[in-house]
Amino acid sequence: MNKLRRLSIDNIWKVLLILVLLVYSLINASQVLVPIVFSLFLAIIFSPLVSFFERKGLNRILSITFSLLLVVIILGGGIYYVGIQAKNLILDLPDLAEKFNNTIDELAKQISSINGLSAQEPMELLKQNSDKLMSSGSKVLTNALSLTGNFLTFIALVPIYVFFMLLYRKNFKTFLAKLDNDDDNNYVTMAEEANSMVHSYIIGLSIVITIIAILNTVGLFALGLKYALFMGVLSAFLTIIPYIGIFIGGLLPFIVALITKDSLFYPLAVIGIMGLVQFLEGNFITPNIVGSQVNINPLSAIIALIIGANLWGIIGMILAIPMTGIMKIIFSHYERLRPYAVLLQSEEETNVNSKDNIGVLQKIKNLFGRS
């Protein structure tokens, strides 16, 4: 009995030691690991496009080059156009701060007229803090849009990594096949499942973000708000953060509507638009397009996001959900680790041919109806 207890304690200490070393390595080697892991996910996304060009008769190098150029042109155009509005927002922050202070003064007068109490001191404190917030916010946005050395390194390395990962993608499969036992193809099977899951999840998520960005932008434009495109796209990208991203994204247009418009109808309308988009996203768009490709329960997703943010920042938050999905796939292939896979998943695993595992394009057809 004592021997079994000692073995159990030894196992616990070994697991804890491995976890500590793993976290230490992830933090201290982040500048090396983040571009590599991020590039791996991008290579998974671009792989079908590269295969398409190869089927059209182009060699592998030209196929990869055209794929990367096409994506860079599309994303670059979108980022440039949205960046113009972001720059205008930064330039208008002083005016917005002044309008906010005027709004606070009007609110203080209304409170005083209702209950006869003076709200001058708390409102003055709020105004002072708002000035500091606007000033610091301007610096944060300016720094975020400026190209730092680390960011330039990241931008330079990622295309190179993606290029060579796509160029030698067959070598990775051969490498995994060599690792497998003669009677078992666990590594190849896990890699294929992870590749399918990541591709379906990220492509589906991109489509969801695009739909939400269009809905948000159209709604904000209909209200006549400035920076509607920037705020609509920003709110859509924040849906990457499950459950709370839509609320964070709706805060900026709410404040802009409150400051720039004379009627309370506009900030309330912003809440209504964001609430409607959230309802459509949670009940129709995401379930039908992304479905249960990752099948991670909300608690695991939130914990993964917190860990990802603390380890690798924004990139860590973006990669947290698919990396957790990969962990679940790995756990499910080993008998002793399957309970942990069950702990991560949101529902019982279904058959591979079930409705939840059909392709993303078929899910879009189902969402909008079949012709």
- Same domain for 99 and 155? yes
Contact 308, 320 (CB under 8 A): yes
Kindly state whether residues 267 and 289 are assigned to the same domain: yes
The percentage of residues in the chain with a pLDDT greater than 90, rounded to a whole number, is 5
What pLDDT shows up at residue 110? 62
Distance CA 337, CA 92 (A): 54
Task: Name residue 345's beta-bridge partners.
Answer: 296
* CA distance linking residue 128 with residue 76, whole number of Å: 38
Stretch 25-54: mean pLDDT, rounded?
86
pLDDT at residue 93 in the model = 65
**How confident is the model at residue 145, as a pLDDT?**
45
Q: Kindly report, residue by residue over 303-347, the tens digit of the pLDDT.
A: 888 888 888 877 888 888 888 888 888 888 888 888 888 888 876
Strand partners, 296: 345
Answer yes or no: do 52 and 67 share one domain: yes
In this predicted structure, the answer to whether residue 46 has a pLDDT above a threshold of 70 is: yes
What integer pLDDT is reported at residue 113 of this predicted model?
60
Residue 243: left if φ>0, alpha if ψ -120 to 50, beta else—which one? left
| Span of 52-61, 70-79, 95-104, 172-181 with lowest mean pLDDT | 95-104
- The pLDDT, as a whole number, for residue 10 is 65
- What total number of domains does the chain contain? 2
Q: Which one has a higher pLDDT value, 204 or 122?
A: 204
Which residues touch 249 (CB under 8 Å, ≥6 apart)?
Answer: 216, 231, 234, 235, 236, 237, 238, 239, 274
Q: Would you say residue 21 lies in a domain?
A: yes
Predicted pLDDT of residue 357: 45
Given this model, what pLDDT does residue 164 score? 92
List the structure tokens of 95. Answer: 């005016």
Does the residue 328 lie in any domain?
no
- Domain assignment present for residue 119? The answer is yes
Distance separating alpha carbons of residues 161 and 167, to the nearest angstrom? 10
Residues 23 and 137 in one domain: yes
State the pLDDT at residue 100.
65
Mean pLDDT score of the chain: 75
Instruction: Tell me what pLDDT residue 286 has.
Output: 73
Q: What percent of the chain has pLDDT over 70?
A: 67
Kindly provide the residue ranges of all beta strands, DSSP E only, lying in the chain, ordered along the sequence: none
Domain endpoint, select from 167, 188, 219 = 167
264 and 352, same domain (yes or no)? yes
The boundaries of the domain holding residue 150 are 1-167
pLDDT tens-digit map of 109-162: 666 665 554 545 555 555 555 555 455 444 444 444 444 456 667 778 888 999
Same domain, yes or no: 371 and 259: yes
The residue with greater pLDDT, 76 or 107, is: 76
How many whole angstroms separate alpha carbon 173 and alpha carbon 261? Answer: 58
Tokens of 102: 């005027």
Q: What is the mean pLDDT of residues 220-236?
A: 86
Q: pLDDT tier at 362 (50, 70, 90 boundaries)?
A: low
Look up tokens 């079908």; give the residue: 48
Tell me: do 274 and 209 sit in the same domain: yes
Print burial letters for 243-271: b (CB count within 10 Å at least 16), e (below 16).
Answer: eebbeebbebbbebbbbbbeeeebbebbe
Residues 102 and 182 in one domain: no
126-130, 166-170, 226-230, 242-246: lowest mean pLDDT where? 126-130
Domain boundary among the residues 143, 167, 191 is at: 167
Q: What is the pLDDT of residues 174-202, one digit of tens each?
A: 888 887 765 555 788 888 888 888 888 88
Could you tell me the two tokens for 159? 């295309």
The pLDDT of residue 263 is: 80
Residue type, 136: S
Examine the domain organization and report whether 246 and 351 are in the same domain.
Answer: yes
Element (H, E) at 176: helix 169-179
Does residue 262 have a pLDDT over 60?
yes
Q: Tokens for 113?
A: 């007229």
What distances in angstroms separate CA 238 from CA 6, 278, 314, 330, one per listed residue?
48, 12, 11, 28
- Please indicate, yes or no, whether residues 234 and 362 belong to a single structural domain of this protein: yes
Same domain, yes or no: 115 and 7: yes
Residue 94: what pLDDT? 66
pTM: 0.68
Q: For residue 314, is it within any domain? A: no
Picking from 42-56, 152-166, 278-292, which range would have the lowest pLDDT averaged per residue? 278-292
> CA–CA distance from 120 to each of 117, 125, 126 (Å)?
9, 9, 10
Instruction: Please provide the size of the chain in residues.
Output: 371
The DSSP secondary-structure symbol of 347 reads S
DSSP per residue over 187-228, as a string? HHHHHHHHHHHHHHHHHHHHHHHHHHHHHHHHHHHHTT-TTH
- Do residues 111 and 126 touch, judged by C-beta distance below 8 A? no
Within a domain: 264: yes
Same-domain status, 246 and 120: no
Average pLDDT over residues 244-264: 79
Q: Which of 254, 258, 257 is nearest to 271 (CA)?
A: 254
